Chains A and B, each alone.
Chain A
Amino acid sequence: MINDEYFLAALRLAAGSDPIPGHVSAAARDAFGLRVSQAVTAAPADCAATRGVRGGDGPGMVRFVAAGLTFDLEVTVGDGLIDVAGQVFPHPGEGSHVDVRTPHLTLTRRLARTGQFAVTGLPPGWLSVVCHRPGLAPVQTRWVRIRP
């Protein structure tokens, strides 16, 4: 009955009886600060290993590919927080680093020689990784939602 629900939602919207919470509006406005100038966005790519990141049932893999770079993210949800172990390959070059971002927190990591990095204790919700490469456009993964 989603169509009826749509009509009812439109009526409620017109009547102002279920207004958008202030913190949702504020988060949307703050999201503007998350844009990365000139960034290339890496789309999700299917591969045998990237199945079932649903949280709670052990780690899951997500792969993103763009601009000759592949991001493999292994995401674990435990105790209400997110851990990410990732790898960027081929190695984007000396001086590269990644920002692992949520709307509320960004953690920066230098890449190991293998292109690997790890962060722990991120809040659940939306997540994206940006790889900054000297002299080249940054590459950002699409935002993914991770919840327990």
Chain B
Amino acid sequence: MHEPRDPAELLKAAAEDDQTAWDQLESRFGPRMWAVARACGLNATDAADAVQGAWLRLLENLHTIREPSGVGAWLATTTRREALLIIRKEPPGFPSFDVVHDPDPATVVLEADGSRLLWKTVSALHEPCRTLLQLVATDMGSQQVAMRLGMPVGAVGPTRIRCLEKLRTLISLQETVQ
């Protein structure tokens, strides 16, 4: 088995007309871009537009990405920006296209290779947070979550908010340590 190619190497190869490298960028970062678009609250059609828009922006900037090794984060941030433009129904092209870096830990988790870290952090949470977040991650509805955890349905929402707050604090601490 070959080692996975470095994102900077893939970007360079794509800029030199290598379709395989482009496909590998898509395999590596496409799922995360989709998650970013969905996280912004877009339906499937609009999320598809936001993701496609981000890839088209990459085509426009293939030779000018400042940090090629950070192309994954660039794609995720660009997807979020396109998603927000779609939500705000901005006319095309305005405002000017600047990628804004958001230091919020949630953004960092989703836009960096943070899935493993996130899952590890969830596993370290006390109950009911650990199970609740694992259930929520599989899109289980509030009623089913309540049944599984033996809590009233009305308590699921507030508990979820508290658990996400704990998760955010832990992730922030880990970011600080790193």
Inter-chain CA distance A88–B55, complex, in Å, is 26
Check B67 for interface membership: any CB of A closer than 8 A: no
Q: A31-B56, A32-B19, A51-B91 are in contact. Are A125 and B49 (CB under 8 A)?
A: yes
What would 22 A/B residue contacts be, using CB atoms closer than 8 Å?
A: A4-B164, A6-B39, A6-B107, A7-B106, A7-B167, A8-B137, A10-B118, A11-B136, A12-B137, A12-B139, A15-B137, A17-B138, A18-B139, A20-B30, A20-B34, A24-B34, A25-B30, A28-B51, A62-B92, A125-B49, A126-B52, A143-B60
**Separation in Å of the A33 CB from the closest CB of chain B?**
8
**Separation in Å of the A133 CB from the closest CB of chain B?**
19
Check A44 for interface membership: any CB of B closer than 8 A: yes
Q: Specify which chain A residues have a CB less than 8 angstroms from the CB of B92 in the assembled complex.
A: 44, 53, 62, 144-146
B168 near A126 (CB under 8 angstroms)? Answer: no
9 more A-B contacts (CB under 8 A) besides A14-B116, A34-B59, A53-B92?
A8-B136, A11-B137, A13-B110, A17-B137, A18-B139, A51-B91, A143-B57, A145-B49, A145-B92
**Separation in Å of the A19 CB from the closest CB of chain B?**
7
Q: Specify which chain B residues have a CB less than 8 angstroms from the CB of A43 in the assembled complex.
A: 93, 96-97
Q: Specify which chain B residues have a CB less than 8 angstroms from the CB of A78 in the assembled complex.
A: none
Kindly report which residue of chain B lies nearest to residue A25, judged by CB atoms: B30
Check A116 for interface membership: any CB of B closer than 8 A: no
A-B Cβ contacts below 8 A, count: 168
- Chain A CB count within 10 A is highest, among B33, B97, B118, B137, for B137
Interface residues of B (CB under 8 A from A): 14, 19, 22-23, 26-27, 30-36, 38-41, 44, 47-49, 51-53, 55-57, 59-60, 62, 82, 85-86, 89, 91-94, 96-97, 104, 106-107, 109-110, 114-116, 118-119, 122, 133-134, 136-139, 161, 164, 167-168
From A2, A35, A46, A51, contact of B39 by CB (8 A): A2
A126 near B35 (CB under 8 angstroms)? Answer: no
**Separation in Å of the B28 CB from the closest CB of chain A?**
11
Interface residues of A (CB under 8 A from B): 2-15, 17-21, 23-25, 27-29, 31-32, 34-35, 41, 43-44, 46, 50-54, 60, 62, 64, 103, 125-126, 128, 140, 142-147
Inter-chain CA distance A125–B48, complex, in Å, is 10
B97 near A54 (CB under 8 angstroms)? Answer: no
Q: Specify which chain A residues have a CB less than 8 angstroms from the CB of B31 in the assembled complex.
A: 13, 19-20
**Separation in Å of the B79 CB from the closest CB of chain A?**
11
B22 near A18 (CB under 8 angstroms)? Answer: no
Inter-chain CA distance A143–B56, complex, in Å, is 7
Inter-chain CA distance A34–B92, complex, in Å, is 19
**Separation in Å of the A10 CB from the closest CB of chain B?**
4
Inter-chain CA distance A103–B59, complex, in Å, is 12
Closest 3 CB pairs of A and B: A44-B93, A9-B39, A144-B92
Inter-chain CA distance A145–B48, complex, in Å, is 12
Kindly report which residue of chain A lies nearest to residue B58, judged by CB atoms: A31
